Structure 1
Amino acid sequence: MSDVNEKTMKNPAPNRQRPTIADVARAAGVSTTTVSHALNDKGYVDQQTRERVKETARALGYRPSVRAQRLRTGEAHTIALISSMPFEIAGGASRLGFLMEVAAVAAAAALTRGLALVLVPPVMAGRLPLEQLDIDGAIVIEPTTDDANVAHLQDRGLPVVCLGRQPGNASVPFVDIHSSATTELLLNHLHDQGSRRIALIIGAQQRNSYIEARASYERFCAAHGMAPVISVADESGGEAAGRDACAALLREHPDVDGLCALVDAFAVGSVQAIAETGRRVPADIKVVTRYDGTRARSCRPPLTAVDLHLDDMALQAVELLFAHLASKDGAQSVMPPLPTLVIRESSGAAGAN
């Protein structure tokens, strides 16, 4: 290496623009092709030259252009995290809790694999403008049977992984969110706390979590000699839909003493409806919900809920998507840890926080 080049590397010009690959080649005394091969560990470059090029690049402060890499490879090195839930459920008082809890872990996991994560927030209705995103793949949270976003991504030929199985679409890899186990956990807890007339409120949309919850509830009722009491609410109505569904349910079945409202927004609305009828939670009706988020914790009384281990789910979703980005032979499903109950005042359990 020449004295001039050594001096330049040690004392770069104060206002000089970011070094280019040509600067590295000139300083190392090699071609730009050799620099590219050496820095990317590709092609034939002898070890001594490879190390000299890397040291030169470090000394100059050279960083590869992500834009140039994208133009050369056609890859964006970016994945999207998409909420299939509408804003009324995923947003509002929960402050996107479920989505943000998944996103925090997924973003970190993606970064360790050289991927950036784009968070696509829920919308009021309809398909998201995904064609505007330059992405290599996506994770979709709890898609419906006819989820337009999954269909669009598959039509583009992009790898898709779902957090929760997509009903009727066996071609989409998924992380199992244990909907049956979660429902059984909540129902058994209500029964253990003395509830003998337990009702279920689920969403009207065709999500696998609702399908599995209904089936689990019907099995539970059959096993305990209960007549099923199921109310369905539209997700777009948020807490108000839960309140109306619960109010109608109590008018028709005033003897209900336990309520499993799978969606946290529906559960909060149900607590309001129970209070409006002059009943008390948990003295008259015990209430439980699925997601242990902001709504469950801030409700009065606080709601018994479930720790879904979203950090494990998010990590597994990124790993599964990464496997499918690298190969079409990745697994079709993975199983995170089983959910655990978080007991609070709404179910009247002794020692609840």
Structure 2
Amino acid sequence: MASHAGVSMTTVSDVVNGKGRVDPATRQRVLDSVRDVGWRPRRSARALRSGETGIFALCFPRREHGVQDWLLNADYDMALVAACAAAAVDSGRQLLLAPRPTDLEDLARLDVDGVIIADPQEHDPALRILDQAGIPTVTVERDIRRDDKWWVGTDNTGGANSALDHLTRQGARRIALLTADERWSWFADTTAAYRAWCADHRLRPLVRTINADDPRTSAAEAVRSLLRLKNPPDAVLALPQGSALGVLDAAAAAGIGVPDDLKLIAGIDSQTLMVSQPPVTAINQQPMRIAQAAVALMIKRVTGDDVPGPTLVATDLVVRHSTASL
């Protein structure tokens, strides 16, 4: 709508909220654009901020791969949705699962009191739009370029150190990391923790960045390249959902045994990893606890309470056959 009227989103927000000093001609142009695009919000932005609907929205990143691939690796997302819905209902509210807003028209369809953004990207545009509209937001993990206390996340550094220490206890000496080409704090924090851990242990880091939208295939390609090194890795920490299956594919194709020749830990757990051959050790990202904390933080934000800082949730390492003969 802002582009339709030829003004900034802040000006549109001022007009629809009836605030600010806007030139009468500009105000009329915005109102004409509102009429032309058919935007008829059920209530004003002032009401959005007053907490009158009893509804929170949960927004996931827009994904390029198909629904079938997403469902295969979406255990974390589905657990997060279920737990957010339960926490919202327990607080006397409802949860709406919605696409990320990209403009004011999207916001008009979000008739909610606040928005929970899962996995924000660096300089996430959805957060900028929500901020400009004055809609309370909480993020699951953080935008790595924002100085913001309104977020909930897992202890990515602790999770990485736990996984790497476990691999070392199992005899691994050359541990590779598979991360992703998404600018998410999960990947950035874990990669930083991995490099710091390698420096502390005087080990050479082996980092490969794979395609988050095709994790299994790109992980298999990355591992094949690692196995061709003069000193190939004897263990892999594979972060993106689905990437651990690609590691298993590459190991099987090369005739390498897991865990005897190559140990494997997945950065996020799933039902598929529990029944794979072999079952894969994984970091439990605690989606149920994350969801409960996110809803609790959102309630504080919409009711005007203050918080001392972000909420960090500790991870657990679920040990299976891919790192040790059980």
- The two structures share one fold, judged by TM-score above 0.5: yes
1:116 is matched with which residue: 69, 94, 97? 94
How much has 1:130 moved relative to structure 2?
3.8
User: Which secondary structure does the structure 2 equivalent of 1:274 belong to?
Assistant: helix
Using the alignment, how far apart are the partners of 1:204 and 1:89 within structure 2? 18
Q: Is 1:291–2:291 an aligned residue pair?
A: no
Q: Deviations over 1:130-169 (max 9, x none)?
A: 4332222111122111322222222221111111122011
Using the alignment, how far apart are the partners of 2:305 and 2:133 within structure 1? 15
- State the TM-score, normalized to the length of structure 2: 0.77
Whether the aligned pair in 1 keeps the contact of 2:62 and 2:99 (CA below 8 Å) is no
Whether the aligned pair in 1 keeps the contact of 2:237 and 2:264 (CA below 8 Å) is yes
Using the alignment, how far apart are the partners of 2:158 and 2:267 within structure 1? 11
After superposition, residues 193-272 of structure 1 pair within 5 angstroms as 193-252=170-229, 254-272=231-249
- Greater mean deviation of Cα atoms: 146-155 or 321-330: 146-155
Whether the aligned pair in 2 keeps the contact of 1:186 and 1:289 (CA below 8 Å) is no
Question: Looking at both structures, which has the greater relative contact order when contacts are Cα pairs under 8 Å and sequence separation is at least 6?
Answer: 2
How much has 1:229 moved relative to structure 2?
0.7
Instruction: Indicate the percent of aligned positions where both proteins have the same amino acid.
Output: 27
Match of 2:123 in 1: 146
After superposition, residues 1-353 of structure 1 pair within 5 angstroms as 75-84=52-61, 86=63, 88=65, 92-94=70-72, 96-120=74-98, 130-131=106-107, 132-171=109-148, 173-252=150-229, 254-327=231-304, 329-336=306-313, 338-347=314-323, 349-351=324-326
> Any stretches of 5+ residues in structure 1 without a counterpart?
1-68
Using the alignment, how far apart are the partners of 2:221 and 2:62 within structure 1? 20
User: Which secondary structure does the structure 1 equivalent of 2:214 belong to?
Assistant: helix
RMSD: 2.6
| Matched positions, count | 278
Using the alignment, how far apart are the partners of 2:73 and 2:289 within structure 1? 21
One-letter amino acid of the counterpart of residue 119, structure 1: L
Whether the aligned pair in 1 keeps the contact of 2:57 and 2:112 (CA below 8 Å) is yes
How much has 1:196 moved relative to structure 2?
0.6
Task: Pick closer, same or farther for the CA change 1:95–1:271 going to 2, 3 Å.
Answer: closer
How much has 1:216 moved relative to structure 2?
1.2
Using the alignment, how far apart are the partners of 1:173 and 1:89 within structure 2? 31
Task: Pick closer, same or farther for the CA change 1:254–1:278 going to 2, 3 Å.
Answer: farther
Using the alignment, how far apart are the partners of 1:241 and 1:279 within structure 2? 18
Whether the aligned pair in 2 keeps the contact of 1:173 and 1:331 (CA below 8 Å) is no
User: Which secondary structure does the structure 1 equivalent of 2:188 belong to?
Assistant: helix
Using the alignment, how far apart are the partners of 1:89 and 1:306 within structure 2? 25
Whether the aligned pair in 1 keeps the contact of 2:280 and 2:320 (CA below 8 Å) is yes
One-letter amino acid of the counterpart of residue 339, structure 1: T
Using the alignment, how far apart are the partners of 1:297 and 1:318 within structure 2? 29
Using the alignment, how far apart are the partners of 1:232 and 1:89 within structure 2? 21
How much has 1:127 moved relative to structure 2?
5.1
- Greater mean deviation of Cα atoms: 248-257 or 140-149: 248-257
How much has 1:95 moved relative to structure 2?
5.4
- State the TM-score, normalized to the length of structure 1: 0.72
For the pair shown, the structure with the greater C-alpha radius of gyration is 1
